[in-house]
């Protein structure tokens, strides 16, 4: 496997490339042009700027997270084919820089959702938290709540520009039920596969987070059955998964290690995150240490190791520790600890298997 670290870019992240360079084992930076709107083409000159920065530190740029998918593609809106053509052009431009994996999601309207971005934990740190009762049925109310609670940070998909047109966005999805969303996803992927073969880029979908319907919007990739459906719906080695243990692991019924064993050949990118469940359905994000949560981190790492996984791995959200001021879930310290935990387990498995 190749260890990677997500970085939001100069001026857009409290973590610097020189900080990341000091974490043992990181080969790749998971990056994106965060200022780009869904549907826009990523131009060569823009990508070149990122490459120049990463080259200075000897980091690879093989994984992009994310090239976001325009709502017209998700809803079969009037400009879907135009935006698909733009997406293909972006893939061709990315391929010129050796990009191998593009992560994206097909969640309607929002990306991931939490009710508290800095929830205090008993050890004095804070973490992302989901309290069922705080999910407002009215998404507008929820957006206001999130904007108020999140100390100036936004969760992806909850940007003020999008919140300003929330009603319009909901209107677009009003006739999109789960089956229609599946069809639209299939249409998108079938259109992209020839470009993926031509460029050597794997499309790696991120599962829905949390893995259940919210605000009356359908969510597709939520459990083993839906993941089985996804991989067979477009049965192509370039149609892959970003297997996020924390997203799927938010539902205690999901056995993530089993999913890894079943679909290792279609996982291009692994997000490793631990989640602790409460009996009422609330959950808190936790440190990467296996016993701090319920996700089965060691089983998952073992499943990847047993499969000879040679894709990309990154620690996912960390807690906020040692007073660090950072994007929710994306600080330096706890993610660096996560890397050392994953590498510790991996190196031992390597040693034991020799
Ligand atoms: C959460 C992330 C997601 C992911 C997108 C992919 O921390 O893993 O926001 O980047 O869903 O498009």
34 is catalytic: no
Q: What is the dihedral of CA 263, 236, 271, 273, to 10 degrees?
A: -40
**What pLDDT shows up at residue 198?**
98
- First vs last C-alpha separation in the chain: 17
- The answer to whether the CB of 285 is under 6 A from ligand 1 is no
- Among 354, 115, 344, 48, which Cα is nearest to 31's? 48
The SS3 of residue 159 is coil
| CB burial string 291-329: b at 16+ within 10 A, e below | ebbbbbbbbbbbbbbebebebbbbbbbbbbbeebebbbb
Asked about 263 being catalytic, the answer comes back as: no
Alpha-carbon separation of residue 138 from 133, 154, 167, 170 (angstroms): 13, 18, 11, 11
Per-residue CA distances from 51 to 29, 55, 79, 122, 204 (Å): 10, 6, 31, 41, 21
User: Is 317 annotated as catalytic?
Assistant: yes
In the chain, the percentage of residues whose pLDDT exceeds 90 is 84
Which of 111, 150, 208, 272 has most ligand 1 atoms within 8 Å of CB, for mutation? 111
What is the band of 153 on the pLDDT scale with cuts at 50, 70, 90?
A: confident
pLDDT tens digits, 219-237: 999 999 999 999 999 999 9
Tokens of 221: 């990739």
Looking at residue 322, its pLDDT comes to 98
CB 169 within 8 A of CB 162: yes
At 163, is the pLDDT very low, low, confident or very high (cuts 50, 70, 90)?
confident
pTM attached to this predicted model? 0.96
Ligand 1 atom with minimal separation from the 330 CA: 7
208 in catalytic set? no
pLDDT per position as a tens digit, 107-152: 998 888 888 899 999 999 999 999 988 887 777 788 788 777 777 7
In this structure, the residue with its CA closest to atom 12 of ligand 1 is: 104
8 lines ligand 1 (CB under 6 A): no
Q: Which atom of ligand 1 is nearest to the CA of 155?
A: 9
Q: What is the DSSP letter of 320?
A: B
> Exposed/middle/buried for 33, CB within 10 Å: 0-12, 13-18, 19+?
middle
- Taking only the tens place, the pLDDT of each residue in 273-323 is 999 999 999 999 999 999 999 999 999 999 999 999 999 999 999 999 999
User: Residue 298 half-sphere exposure, CB side, CA atoms within 13 Å?
Assistant: 9
At residue 145, the pLDDT reads 81
Instruction: Give the distance (Å) from ligand 1 centre to CA of residue 175.
Output: 25
Condensed to tens digits (0 to 9), the pLDDT of residues 22-37 reads 999 999 999 999 999 9
Residue 166: pLDDT band by 50, 70, 90 thresholds? confident
pLDDT of residue 159: 80
User: In angstroms, rounded to a whole number, what is the distance separating the alpha carbons of residues 152 and 28?
Assistant: 29
Question: Can you tell me whether residue 189 is helix, strand or coil?
Answer: helix
Which token pair is 117?
A: 């971005």
CA 33 to centroid of ligand 1, rounded, Å? 14
The pLDDT value recorded for residue 335 is 98
Catalytic option among 13, 116, 316, 334: 316
The span from the CA of 122 to the CA of 284, in Å, is 12
| The pLDDT value given to residue 133 | 86
Given a cut of 90, whether residue 216 has pLDDT beyond it is no
Is any ligand 1 atom within 6 A of the Cβ of residue 115? no
Residue 240 host element (H or E): strand 239-244
DSSP string spanning 44-74? HHHHHHHHHHHHHHT-EEEEEE--PPPHHHH
How far is C-alpha 287 from the chain's CA centre?
18
Kindly state which CATH superfamily the domain 2-353 is placed in.
Answer: Divalent-metal-dependent TIM barrel enzymes (3.20.20.150)
Which ligand 1 atom is the nearest neighbour of the CA of 271? Answer: 8
* Minimum-distance ligand 1 atom for the alpha carbon of 242: 6
Residue 277 falls in the annotated catalytic set: no
| Segment 43-73, tens digit of pLDDT | 999 999 999 999 999 999 999 999 999 999 9
Q: Is the CB of 59 under 6 A from ligand 1?
A: no
- C-alpha 209 to ligand 1 mean position (Å): 9
193 touches 238 (CB < 8 A): yes
Taking 90 as the threshold, does the pLDDT of residue 334 lie above it?
yes
* Residues 238-261 pLDDT 10s: 999 999 999 999 999 999 999 999
Considering only CA atoms, which of 47, 28, 51, 23 is closest in space to residue 36?
47
Q: With a cut of 90, say whether residue 183 has pLDDT above it.
A: yes
What is the C-alpha to C-alpha distance for residues 61 and 54, in angstroms, rounded to an integer?
7
Minimum mean pLDDT among 2-6, 102-106, 131-135, 309-313: which range?
131-135
Check residue 229 and report its DSSP letter: H
pLDDT for 156: 79
Q: 129, 304, 330, 333: which one is catalytic? A: 330
State the Cα–Cα distance between residues 3 and 226, nearest whole angstrom.
27
β-pair partners for 240: 204
pLDDT of residue 310: 97
Instruction: Give me the pLDDT at residue 112, please.
Output: 86
Pocket test of ligand 1: the residue of 156, 157, 188, 205 to mutate, having most ligand atoms within 8 Å of its CB, is 156
Residue nearest to atom 4 of ligand 1 (CA): 206
Q: Which of 238, 244, 292, 334 is catalytic?
A: 244
Q: Is the CB of 269 under 6 A from ligand 1?
A: no
Taking the C-alpha atoms of residue 328 and residue 311, their distance in angstroms, rounded to an integer, is 26
pLDDT of residue 164: 82
């Amino acid at each position: 496997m190749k260890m990677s670290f997500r970085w939001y870019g100069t001026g857009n992240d409290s973590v610097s490339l020189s900080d990341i360079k000091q974490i043992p084992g990181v080969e790749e930076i998971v990056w994106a042009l965060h200022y780009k709107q869904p549907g826009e083409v990523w131009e060569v000159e823009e990508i070149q700027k990122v490459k120049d920065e990463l080259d200075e530190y000897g980091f690879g740029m093989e994984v992009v997270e994310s090239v976001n998918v325009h709502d017209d593609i998700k809803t079969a809106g009037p400009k879907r084919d135009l935006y698909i053509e733009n997406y293909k052009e972006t893939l061709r431009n990315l391929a010129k820089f050796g990009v191998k994996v593009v992560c994206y999601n097909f969640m309607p309207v929002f990306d991931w959702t939490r009710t508290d971005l800095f929830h205090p934990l008993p050890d004095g740190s804070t973490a992302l938290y989901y309290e069922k009762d705080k999910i407002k049925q009215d998404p507008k109310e929820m957006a206001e709540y999130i904007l108020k609670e999140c100390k100036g940070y936004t969760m992806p998909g909850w940007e003020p520009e999008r919140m300003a047109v929330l009603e319009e966005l909901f209107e677009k999805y009003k006739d999109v039920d789960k089956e229609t969303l599946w069809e639209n996803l299939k249409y998108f992927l079938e259109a992209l596969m020839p470009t993926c073969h031509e460029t050597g880029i794997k499309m790696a979908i991120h599962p829905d987070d949390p893995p259940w319907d919210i605000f009356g919007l359908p969510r597709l990739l939520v459990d083993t059955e839906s993941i089985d459906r996804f991989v067979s719906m477009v049965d192509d080695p370039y149609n892959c998964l970003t297997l996020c243990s924390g997203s799927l692991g938010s539902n205690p019924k999901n056995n993530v290690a089993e999913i890894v064993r079943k679909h290792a050949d279609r996982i291009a990118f692994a997000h490793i995150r631990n989640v602790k469940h409460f009996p009422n359905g609330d959950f808190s994000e936790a440190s990467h240490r296996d016993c701090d949560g319920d996700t089965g981190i060691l089983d998952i790492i073992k499943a990847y190791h047993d499969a000879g996984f040679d894709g990309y791995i990154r620690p996912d959200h960390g807690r906020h520790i040692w007073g660090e001021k950072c994007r929710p879930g994306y600080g330096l310290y706890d993610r660096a600890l996560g890397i050392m935990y994953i590498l510790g387990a991996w190196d031992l498995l390597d040693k034991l298997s020799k």
